[in-house]
Structure 1
């Protein structure tokens, strides 16, 4: 695993709270009120990621295709994907 930057650390309070170091907040582009997600990985590692609200994803794929599909076509594509086709 490559660690391109110095390790950051903070202290956990008696209530289980901690302050994210400034460099970590900057790397995740966090602002007050933003939410973070903790992903527990094998081997005891934890990955911290910025949580993006679903509303923030609106229009993310707009303009990438002009194709319009029906709900039945979407269901069929999902089923094919689940079957590994």
Structure 2
């Protein structure tokens, strides 16, 4: 598929690609440079503001020692 770049540097994303990526007017995309001269268009899925409140706050605070212990255990499981 091809598209033309306007004088302002804008490109219209072809409809089959918009449909496949489920893009709607106002949605945002990232342009990712791959090796060589290829560019991937990746939909931006959610902002940090949209994610706020999705992860519950811990019921009780944890100490630095407890955090270090949890990190060490997780690291040991990966080895």
- Mark yes or no: TM-score above 0.5: yes
State the aligned residue count.
Answer: 66
Aligned counterpart in structure 2 of residue 80 of structure 1, from 50, 60, 75: 75
Distance 2:43 2:20 in 1: 10
The question of 1:20 aligning with 2:13 is answered yes
Larger Rg: 2
Aligned to 2:37: 44
CA positional deviation for 1:73: 6.0
Deviations 1:2-47 (A, max 9, x none): xxxxxx1110011101111111100110011100011100011111
CA positional deviation for 1:80: 2.8
Unaligned runs of 5+ in 1: 1-7, 60-69
TM-score by length of 1: 0.60
Unaligned runs of 5+ in 2: 55-61
TM-score by length of 2: 0.64
Runs of 4+ residues over 2 Å off in structure 1: none
